[in-house]
Amino acid sequence: MIESKNRVQTFAAEGREQLNAGERTKAALFAALAFGVVALVVEGVYLARGQRVAPAVLLVALLAAAGVALATYARYRFTHLRAVGHLDRFFKLKEGLVTADEHIRAGRDEEIHALQVKHTARRLDQHDPAAARPRTRRRLWGLALALIIVALGLLLVDDSAAVKAARAEEEATIELSTEVAEELKEEYKEMLERLDPELKEMLEDPALKAAIEQFEGGGDRRAVMRALSEIDRELSKMSGQLDTRADESYLKELAKHLEQGRETAAMGQALSSGDYKRAASELENMRLSEFASADDREALEKLAARIGEAEKSMSNNESASRRSANEMSREIKKMSKEVCESGQCSSACRACVNQAMNKSENAMRQTQARCDARSALDMLRQSLRQGQNEMSGQGGQGQQPGGQGWGEGVDRSRRPMDAESPSDGQMEHLSGILGEGESEKVIEDAFSGAGVATAKGGDQAAVAYERQMEAFVRRDDVPEEMKHGVKTYFERIHELEERINEGASDERK
Amino acid sequence: MNESKSVEKAAEQFAERFRAIKEEIGRFIVGQDEIVDRVLMAVIAGGHVLLEGVPGLGKTALVHTLAQVMELDFKRVQFTPDLLPADILGTNILVDRDGSKVFEFQKGPVFTNILLADEINRATPKTQSALLETMQEKTVTIGGVCHRLDRPYFVLATQNPIEMDGTYPLPEAQLDRFFFKLSVELPNHAEMGLVLDRTTGVDSPVISKVVDGEQLLEMEQVARRVTVATEVRDYLVSLVLSTHPDNAAAPRDVARFVRYGASPRAAQTLISAARVRALTEGRYHVAREDVNAVAVPALRHRVLLNFEGEAEGVSTADIIQGLSG
């Protein structure tokens, strides 16, 4: 009995081991297939983008394969009972093994149970549990192997030309943008160091400073260009705040007039050459001292006269220089009047003149300072623009059709003052004039056509026309008012025709 | 191990006797191997058999032969419409004993080992029902006295499926008492030739007795010891339950054509018959194929078709075969 039991148990255990080995093989097969399929899908995504497949991506496929293997084995693994049932059916034991196993597990040891186990053990001797192992699915293994080979082979596929170019561009962008960022920061720092404390204070804009300091190199060319544009915008804003064009325009005009007079020629030349600081010094020299002579006053009067001339030749100019010059001119004229009336210039009058002159000097000095600051900013902008140009020109991109390159545009704020602009930037509505201009529409007279008039079929058409009318008039579902209207309409047409015919016959007569 | 050998010996004897009975019956009955097998299975399992077939197919001859093979008391009752229960069960009659008149029970033909109820569907339901107690409890109760029948006792009934005039179809309760319902088919050409040779010549085959009642009861006990695995038992239960149209596992045909499915008694029949078959196949355990092999004769008379099933001409045997795969 024990021997038979052992035989049955051994057979069941060996058979189960064989079956589970088969299931492990199946799980490995499914895992290999899953690996191949997932790897191909993931690699397909990379290759569709033209990129070289990163070997690390195969980890995804590996994880998927491991998951499939575990799930498959957990799902199809043979338990003892399932294995016994399967072996019984596989070896056609007619539930002999199932029954014997149940007897053994339940500890049944009656005669009939022992006999059944013995007979089953005897039958099991004819079978080898290894035969129960599922056959290797060669085709599927072949397929899995092919998938894996293809998946591994795809690892060797290099980046496409476009991707290579894009990558090279990105690297170049990083390098260039880093260089530009460093240069810009250095330039800004040097500019601030170079400037006077007054100008430095004027140019130390927190927004500009932040924009420059935050600008870092990167691989995204667009982002870099956007950051550069941001800095450019800040610089432009600051430059706009330091606008001295009106002052310079006035001072140039004034210079033309001052250069004509001997007393004011030095100042005029200084203004003409844009050396406002020197011009201010010249003006300072013309201040009235306590012991000012008549010549000194005369020089001032001539200055006022030149200012007056310049005032006449200028139209719209709202500059501070003009205001201060006019004020100075007014004060000088007041002084002249006082001298004419009283023969001498009072200290109050002198003080007023000097104060007005001082204001004018200050305006000139401020203009000079603003010009210097603008010039420093322009240098910085130039440096920035150089960086922008380098960034724009990098990567082999240019003006290409289809939106692949940059476009051309106009920044109106950078136009020179005297440049003509087609509009002020606002939308313009252009309307045509009705009746004017050429038209393709031609109105052709009926008789001028190439067709030939004929009365053929006219009688039949008239009869059909009449029938339709009568049929309509006889219809029950049409209201009487409408019938009357239709009838009247046709009758009037007849009357009209008759009248035309009568007129034609009278003409003939 | 000695005890094991005794069971083994009993099982071998079982197989030997079964084969001997079959051989002996085969000396007179030509063909019908399956019918003979199944009748023997039912007899060994202690069940009753309803043989159905047109006249002249050897139903009665088979039962006669079986009675001859077994050393058992055999009686035959020809069922007719005027047959009364007392005619088969027996009755109390007034007899003169020692000068006094007393009632004495006069045993009917059911007091035997093998009862051939020929053309059972010709008797009235009242008479048919008189057999119920004998078939189930193997007792006869008359006048308040219960009389036990001899063992073994089994009824082998026949009925003709085509002559329906003047017949009384067996009620479901009666049908359920039959272990098997077997349909006797027409023999083929060669078998019919042999039938003619054996029955119309001068020499008739001599049938000798092979087993007696005790041995038959022993065979029944041996069969009862055959083991049934839980898996096989569950399969058998599922099979029986799936004959019920309101069961969730019932297939579409059962749900559509069956009015009422097999009873638990059918499951008992199936397992008993499957055990006998397993032994005849040389096994000490019941296999699914044993259950499938006896499913049709055990269930065909217990699965009742509904009107749609009858109208469509559906066969219960087909439905059961569909269930047992």
B289 contact A CB<8A: yes
Which residue from B4, B8, B285 is facing A95, i.e. has the nearest CB? B285
The more confident residue out of A426 and A234 is A234
User: Is residue A30 in some structural domain?
Assistant: yes
Q: Name the domain boundary from A328, A361, A391.
A: A391
Question: How would DSSP label each residue in B42-55?
Answer: HHHTT-EEEEE--T
Question: How would DSSP label each residue in A199-232?
Answer: HHHHH--HHHHHHHHH----S-HHHHHHHHHHHH
A261: buried, middle or exposed (CB in 10 Å: 19+, 13-18, 0-12)? middle
Question: Do B55 and B194 lie in a common domain?
Answer: yes
Residue A57 DSSP code: G
Q: Which of A324-328, A499-503, B291-295 has the lowest mean pLDDT?
A: A499-503
* pLDDT of A143 above 90: yes
Provide, as residue numbers in chain B, all residues whose Cβ is less than 8 Å from the Cβ of A115. Answer: 4, 7-8, 11, 284
Give chain B's domain count. 2
User: What pLDDT does residue A455 have?
Assistant: 63
Spatial separation of the C-alpha atoms in residues B51 and B53, rounded to whole Å: 7
Is this structure's pTM higher than 0.90?
no
For residue A383, the enclosing domain spans 245-391
User: Is residue B97 in some structural domain?
Assistant: no
User: Is residue B105 in some structural domain?
Assistant: no
Provide, as residue numbers in chain A, all residues whose Cβ is less than 8 Å from the Cβ of B8. Answer: 115
Which residue on chain B is closest to A98 by alpha carbon? Answer: B229
Provide the pLDDT confidence category of residue A64 given band limits of 50, 70 and 90. very high
- Does an H or E element contain B40, and which? helix B33-44
User: Is residue A398 in some structural domain?
Assistant: no
B6 contact A CB<8A: yes
Residue B82 DSSP code: T
Question: Do A255 and A225 lie in a common domain?
Answer: no
User: Is residue B86 in some structural domain?
Assistant: no
User: Is residue B87 in some structural domain?
Assistant: no
User: What pLDDT does residue A136 have?
Assistant: 79
Rg of chain B over Cα atoms, rounded to whole angstroms, equals 21
% of chain A with per-residue pLDDT over 70 = 86
Question: Do B190 and B245 lie in a common domain?
Answer: no
Mean pLDDT, residues A429-438: 58
User: Do A335 and A350 meet the contact criterion of CB atoms below 8 Å apart?
Assistant: yes
Which residue on chain A is closest to B290 by alpha carbon? Answer: A94
Question: Do A273 and A306 lie in a common domain?
Answer: yes
Q: Which of A34-48, A443-457, B15-29 has the lowest mean pLDDT?
A: A443-457
Q: Do A119 and B284 touch (CB under 8 A)?
A: yes
> How much is the mean pLDDT over chain B?
86
Residue B150 φ then ψ, to 5°: -70, 155
Q: Which residues contact B253 (CB under 8 A, 6 or more apart)?
A: B314, B319, B322
Q: Do B225 and A116 touch (CB under 8 A)?
A: no
Q: Do A111 and B3 touch (CB under 8 A)?
A: yes
For residue B230, the enclosing domain spans 226-325
Which residue from A1, A85, A112 is facing B7, i.e. has the nearest CB? A112
User: Do B167 and B128 meet the contact criterion of CB atoms below 8 Å apart?
Assistant: no
Q: Do A95 and B229 touch (CB under 8 A)?
A: yes
Strand partners, B178: B48
| Euclidean distance between the first and the last CA atom of chain B, given in angstroms as a whole number | 39
Spatial separation of the C-alpha atoms in residues A414 and A382, rounded to whole Å: 13
A449: buried, middle or exposed (CB in 10 Å: 19+, 13-18, 0-12)? exposed
User: Is residue B67 in some structural domain?
Assistant: yes
Mutation pick from B5, B227, B233, B292 vs chain A, by most beta carbons of A within 10 Å, is B227
Question: Do A100 and A11 lie in a common domain?
Answer: yes
User: Do B157 and B120 meet the contact criterion of CB atoms below 8 Å apart?
Assistant: yes
User: What pLDDT does residue B241 have?
Assistant: 92
Q: Which of A35-49, A188-202, A361-375, A384-398 has the lowest mean pLDDT?
A: A384-398
Question: Do B215 and B244 lie in a common domain?
Answer: no
Question: Do B172 and B231 lie in a common domain?
Answer: no
The pLDDT tens digits of the residues spanning B43-69 come to: 899 889 998 888 888 888 888 888 888
The more confident residue out of A496 and A131 is A131
User: Is residue A213 in some structural domain?
Assistant: yes
Question: Do A251 and A235 lie in a common domain?
Answer: no
User: Do B27 and B213 meet the contact criterion of CB atoms below 8 Å apart?
Assistant: no
Mean pLDDT, residues B204-222: 85
User: What pLDDT does residue A452 have?
Assistant: 59
Spatial separation of the C-alpha atoms in residues A232 and A250, rounded to whole Å: 28
Spatial separation of the C-alpha atoms in residues B301 and B262, rounded to whole Å: 9
Q: Which of A130-144, A208-222, A372-386, A389-403: highest mean pLDDT?
A: A130-144
Provide the pLDDT confidence category of residue A394 given band limits of 50, 70 and 90. low
The tokens 């690390």 sit on which residue? Answer: A56
Spatial separation of the C-alpha atoms in residues A44 and A22, rounded to whole Å: 32
User: What pLDDT does residue A397 have?
Assistant: 46
User: What pLDDT does residue B134 have?
Assistant: 87
Question: Do B129 and B6 lie in a common domain?
Answer: yes
The more confident residue out of A56 and A440 is A56
User: Is residue B92 in some structural domain?
Assistant: no
Give chain A's domain count. 4
* pLDDT of A412 above 70: no
Q: Do A112 and B286 touch (CB under 8 A)?
A: no
ipTM score of the complex?
A: 0.81
Residue B209 DSSP code: -
Q: Name the domain boundary from A210, A242, A274.
A: A242
Question: Do B75 and B147 lie in a common domain?
Answer: yes
B224 contact A CB<8A: no
Provide, as residue numbers in chain B, all residues whose Cβ is less than 8 Å from the Cβ of A112. Answer: 7, 225-227, 284
Q: Which of A300-304, B87-91, B108-112, B318-322 has the lowest mean pLDDT?
A: A300-304
User: Is residue A426 in some structural domain?
Assistant: no
User: Is residue A9 in some structural domain?
Assistant: yes
Spatial separation of the C-alpha atoms in residues A257 and A302, rounded to whole Å: 11
Provide the pLDDT confidence category of residue A446 given band limits of 50, 70 and 90. low
User: What pLDDT does residue B142 have?
Assistant: 85
Provide the pLDDT confidence category of residue A471 given band limits of 50, 70 and 90. confident
The residue type of A20 is N
Q: Do A99 and B227 touch (CB under 8 A)?
A: yes
Q: Do A98 and B6 touch (CB under 8 A)?
A: no
User: Is residue B32 in some structural domain?
Assistant: yes
Q: Which of A24-38, A264-278, A464-478, B307-321 has the lowest mean pLDDT?
A: A464-478
User: Is residue A443 in some structural domain?
Assistant: no
Spatial separation of the C-alpha atoms in residues A404 and A78, rounded to whole Å: 62
Question: Do B244 and B184 lie in a common domain?
Answer: no
**B5 Cα to chain A: minimum distance (Å):** 8
**B251 Cα to chain A: minimum distance (Å):** 24
Work out how many CB contacts closer than 8 A connect A with B: 58
User: Do B71 and B58 meet the contact criterion of CB atoms below 8 Å apart?
Assistant: no
Question: Do B250 and B160 lie in a common domain?
Answer: no
* pLDDT of A107 above 60: yes
User: Is residue B53 in some structural domain?
Assistant: yes
Residue B50 φ then ψ, to 5°: -110, 115
Mean pLDDT, residues B200-221: 83
Provide the pLDDT confidence category of residue A260 given band limits of 50, 70 and 90. confident
CA-wise closest residue to A390 among A221, A176, A170:
A176
Which CA distances in Å does A345 have to A275, A307, A335, A393, B306? 31, 21, 6, 68, 142
Question: Do B244 and B194 lie in a common domain?
Answer: no
Long-range pairs, A320-323, Cβ under 8 A, ≥24: A320/A247, A320/A363, A320/A366, A320/A367, A321/A247, A321/A250, A321/A251, A321/A254, A321/A360, A321/A363, A321/A364, A321/A367, A322/A246, A322/A247, A322/A250, A323/A363
Question: Do B152 and B231 lie in a common domain?
Answer: no
